[in-house]
Structure 1
Amino acid sequence: MARYLVAASPIPGHVRPMMALAVELRHRGHQVRFLTGAAFHEMVAAQGVPCSAHPLAAAGTPTEPLRGRPPGLLGRWRTGRSELRSVFLDPMVAQFRAVTAELDGTSVDALFADVMFTGAIPLLLAETARPPVLACGVVPLMLSSADTPPFGMGWQPQSGRDYTAMNWFVRHMLFGGNQRRLDAILRELGLGPAPKYLLDWPTLADRLLQFTVPGFEYPRGDLPSSVVFTGPVPYGGSEVAPPASWWSELSGAKTIVHVTQGTWDNRDLDQLIRPTLTALSGRADITVVACTGGSRAPLGPVPANAYVTDFVPYSHLLPRVDVMITNGGYGGVQQALRCGVPIIVAGDSADKPEIAARVAYTGAGIDLGTARPRPTAVAAAVDRVLNNGEYRTAAAGLAREMAEVSPFEVISDVLAELAGARFRDGIRSSRDGEPR
Structure 2
Amino acid sequence: MAAPAMDRVSRPLRVLCTTQPGVSHLLPMVPVLRALRRRGHEVLVASAPRLAPQITKTGLRAVPMGVDFIIGQEHTFVPALAAARARRDVSFAYTRTVLVDALASAAVTDLRSLVRAWRPDIVVRDPVEFGGFAIAEALGVPHVTGRENRFLSTAAWASELGESLTPLARLAGVDALDAGQLYRYLGLAPTLPSLIAATPKLPNAREFDRHVGPTLRFVRPESYCGDAQSGRANGAHRGGPRVLVTFGTVFHDQPDLMRRMLVAASSLPARFTVITGPGIDPAGFHPAPANVFLTDFAPLGAVLPGCAAVVTVGGLGTVLAAIEHGVPMVVMPINADQPTNAARCEHLGIGITVPVATATPATIAAAIIRVLTDDVVRARVAQLAAELRSLPSADEAAELVETVARTGESVPDLVESTAR
Which residue pairs with 1:241 in the alignment? 229
SS of 1:253's equivalent in the other structure is coil
* TM-score, normalised with respect to structure 2: 0.80
Which residue pairs with 1:56 in the alignment? 67
- TM-superposed CA distance for 1:290, in Å, is 0.4
- TM-superposed CA distance for 1:319, in Å, is 1.6
AA at the equivalent of 2:213: P
Ranges of 4+ aligned residues in structure 1 off by more than 4 Å: 57-61, 63-70, 187-194, 219-222, 430-436
Note the residue ranges of structure 1 that are not aligned, 5 or more in a row. Answer: 146-166, 423-427
Q: Deviations over 1:13-60 (max 9, x none)?
A: 112233443333223322111111101223323444322111327977
Counting only pairs closer than 5 Å after superposition, residues 165-314 of structure 1 correspond to structure 2 as 179-187=162-170, 189=172, 191=174, 194-196=177-179, 202-204=182-184, 206-218=185-197, 223-236=212-225, 238-239=226-227, 241-242=229-230, 244=232, 247-250=234-237, 252-271=238-257, 273-283=258-268, 285-296=269-280, 298-314=284-300
- TM-superposed CA distance for 1:227, in Å, is 0.5
Which residue pairs with 1:374 in the alignment? 360
Distance 1:296 1:234, change over 3 A: closer
Distance 1:383 1:433, change over 3 A: farther
SS of 2:255's equivalent in the other structure is coil
Q: Deviations over 1:295-349 (max 9, x none)?
A: 3353243111111111123233212111101112221221111001111111222
Equivalences, count: 386
1:101 to 96, 109, 113: 113
CA distance in 2 between partners of 1:434 and 1:417 (Å): 9
Distance 1:371 1:68, change over 3 A: farther
2:118 paired with 1:134: no
Distance 1:82 1:319, change over 3 A: same
Do the aligned residues in 2 keep the contact of 1:134 with 1:207 (CA within 8 Å)? yes
Distance 1:121 1:106, change over 3 A: closer
Q: Deviations over 1:100-152 (max 9, x none)?
A: 322211232321101111113323543x422x2110225x333139xxxxxxx
AA at the equivalent of 2:321: Q
Distance 1:117 1:222, change over 3 A: closer
Which residue pairs with 1:349 in the alignment? 335
Which residue pairs with 2:33 in the alignment? 22
CA distance in 2 between partners of 1:143 and 1:67 (Å): 24
- TM-superposed CA distance for 1:179, in Å, is 1.1
AA at the equivalent of 1:233: E
2:341 paired with 1:330: no
SS of 1:134's equivalent in the other structure is strand
- TM-superposed CA distance for 1:406, in Å, is 4.3
Counting only pairs closer than 5 Å after superposition, residues 146-165 of structure 1 correspond to structure 2 as none
2:101 paired with 1:89: yes
Alpha carbon RMSD of aligned pairs, Å?
3.2
Distance 1:11 1:364, change over 3 A: same
More helix by share: 2
